[in-house]
């Protein structure tokens, strides 16, 4: 009886550890409230499938600031996501060129070379009643995510 209990407890601890490691490796979405009349969300090092599902669930148009790798993934595996996107700002690819037909419905497609530049472009594409989604992926995701949080702390009225 004791061995069964120990085994069950061990399995529970292993499952909890796996979940904790998953959270460390792939963060979860975070709500930031409002900025310039937009609902703001961020997601550091997200799982691409979950981001696509989340975008599909938003009831408003989305302004998406993120890395080209997640955009490319959506083009290939979740092209329906682009119906919900109003603007795309790629923070790591200044020569952003999308030729896919899915982008016909996206009003603004901008490629830049840094997160700081994205904030300048964001002022030009902001839209009251939209959702601002910032995703940070790739090698520089932690630095980019920190830059976004610093920007929110500076510009958001609390």
The model's pTM: 0.79
* pLDDT level of residue 103 (50, 70, 90 thresholds): low
In a domain, 17, yes or no: no
Domain count, the chain: 1
For 59, phi then psi, to 5°, come to -85, -5
**Residue 62: both structure tokens together:** 């989305």
In a domain, 21, yes or no: no
Distance CA 24, CA 44 (A): 10
In a domain, 16, yes or no: no
| Higher local confidence (pLDDT), 19 or 48 | 48
For 33, phi then psi, to 5°, come to 90, -140
In a domain, 92, yes or no: yes
In a domain, 89, yes or no: yes
Distance CA 56, CA 96 (A): 23
* pLDDT level of residue 77 (50, 70, 90 thresholds): very high
In a domain, 8, yes or no: no
* pLDDT level of residue 70 (50, 70, 90 thresholds): very high
Angle, nearest 10°, between helix axes 115-125 and 141-155? 50
CATH of the domain at 81: 3.90.190
Say how far residue 49 (Cα) sits from the centre of its chain: 11
Alpha helix (H) residue ranges in the chain:
2-25, 48-57, 68-77, 115-125, 141-155
Judge contact between 61 and 81, C-beta under 8 A. Answer: no
In a domain, 2, yes or no: no
Q: Which domain holds residue 76?
A: 27-155
Residue 21 has a pLDDT of: 47
Question: What percent of the chain is modeled with pLDDT above 70?
Answer: 75
């Amino acid at each position: 009886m004791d061995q069964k209990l120990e085994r069950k407890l061990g399995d529970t601890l292993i499952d909890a550890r796996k979940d904790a490691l998953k959270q460390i490796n792939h963060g979860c979405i975070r709500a930031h409230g409002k900025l310039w009349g937009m609902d703001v969300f961020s997601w550091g090092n997200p799982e691409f499938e979950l981001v696509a599902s989340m975008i599909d669930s938003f009831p408003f148009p989305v302004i998406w600031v993120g890395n080209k790798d997640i955009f490319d993934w959506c083009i290939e595996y979740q092209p329906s996501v682009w119906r919900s996107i109003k603007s795309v700002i790629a923070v790591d690819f200044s020569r952003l060129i999308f030729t896919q037909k899915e982008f016909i419905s996206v009003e603004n497609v901008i490629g830049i070379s840094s997160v700081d530049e994205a904030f300048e472009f964001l002022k030009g594409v902001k839209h009251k009643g939209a959702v601002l989604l910032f995703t940070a992926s790739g090698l520089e995701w932690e630095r980019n995510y920190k830059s976004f949080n610093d920007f929110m702390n500076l510009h958001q009225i609390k």
